[in-house]
């Protein structure tokens, strides 16, 4: 089947289209049978060089059964070569599946964020209000440093030392005094037992 369609040319971001007659199975920018016009979208709409057509060749190909695409049919209708009517596309402008999925995800995130904020606000409203005592009152109620200083001032060091000395003397008096062992006693030998008296020898009698 023959088609009258656009074939892109030109450079990057500077397109230029040729209007060609080609087989419907050929790629868009591939082989074509004949070039029958040109389209330059960079020109203004009222510029006559924006769309150029070979009317006689197009009429001949239309007679042979070639079918123009929607865009080419719009160009041909401006010169009365073909009849063009806007196609009814009910899904025109409708987002695709991935776009719908992204929109749904954004909506879910927004709902979750709103629910979290509402929950946090409710928890904050239900929490009891705790009144904090001023810092000056807390310091006045617990003067820790002043109490330690007063305790040290009330107990002088001399009195404490005197009390400890008296306690040590009382302990010494209560303990029994041990008798010192003199050197003389240590050196004195043990008493010897008296020797047994021997019987006196009898004097011989004269006779």
- The pLDDT tens digits of the residues spanning 47-89 come to 888 999 988 988 888 888 888 888 898 888 888 888 777 767 7
**Residue 152 forms part of a structural domain:** no
The count of domains in the chain is: 1
CA 170 to chain centre: 73
pTM over 0.85: no
6 pLDDT higher than 80: yes
Residue 57: give the domain boundaries.
2-78
> Looking at per-residue confidence, does 198 or 118 come out higher?
118
**Residue 176 forms part of a structural domain:** no
Tokens 């037992």 locate to 193
**Residue 138 forms part of a structural domain:** no
> Looking at per-residue confidence, does 95 or 160 come out higher?
95
Query: Which two structure tokens, joined as six digits, stand for 62?
Result: 């239309």
**Residue 10 forms part of a structural domain:** yes
Of 7-16, 33-42, 135-144, 193-202, give the lowest mean pLDDT range. 193-202
**Residue 52 forms part of a structural domain:** yes
- pLDDT the model gives residue 64: 87
**Residue 63 forms part of a structural domain:** yes
- pLDDT the model gives residue 207: 43
200 pLDDT higher than 60: no
CATH of residue 69's domain is 3.30.1320.10
* Element counts in the chain: helices (H) and strands (E): 7, 5
* Long-range CB contacts for residues 178-186, cutoff 8 Å, separation at least 24: none
126-140 pLDDT per residue, tens:
877 666 655 565 555
Cβ atoms within 10 Å of 55's Cβ, excluding its own: 13
**Residue 29 forms part of a structural domain:** yes
Residue in 93, 73, 50, 91 with CA at minimum distance from that of residue 3: 73
CA distances from 174 to 37, 167, 171 (A): 137, 11, 5
Going by pLDDT thresholds of 50, 70 and 90, the confidence category of residue 191 is very low
**Residue 163 forms part of a structural domain:** no
Pairing of strands 34-39, 2-11: unpaired
Going by pLDDT thresholds of 50, 70 and 90, the confidence category of residue 107 is very high
């Amino acid at each position: 089947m023959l088609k009258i369609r656009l074939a892109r040319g030109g450079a990057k971001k500077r397109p230029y289209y040729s209007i060609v007659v080609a087989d419907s199975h050929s790629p868009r920018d591939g082989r074509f049978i004949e070039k029958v016009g040109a389209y330059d979208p960079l020109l203004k709409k009222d510029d006559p060089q924006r769309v150029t057509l070979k009317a006689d060749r197009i009429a001949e190909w239309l007679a042979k059964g070639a079918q123009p695409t929607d865009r080419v049919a719009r160009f041909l209708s401006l010169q009365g070569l073909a009849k063009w009517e806007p196609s009814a596309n009910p899904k025109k402008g409708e987002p695709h599946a991935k776009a719908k999925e992204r929109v749904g995800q954004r909506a879910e995130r927004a709902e979750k964020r709103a629910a979290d904020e509402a929950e946090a606000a409710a928890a904050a409203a239900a929490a009891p209000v705790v009144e904090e005592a001023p810092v000056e009152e807390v310091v006045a109620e617990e003067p820790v440093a002043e109490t330690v200083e007063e305790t040290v001032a009330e107990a002088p060091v001399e009195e404490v030392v005197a009390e400890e000395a008296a306690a040590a003397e009382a302990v010494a008096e209560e303990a029994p005094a041990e008798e010192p062992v003199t050197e003389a006693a240590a050196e004195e030998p043990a008493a010897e037992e008296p020797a047994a008296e021997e019987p006196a020898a009898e004097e011989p009698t004269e006779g």
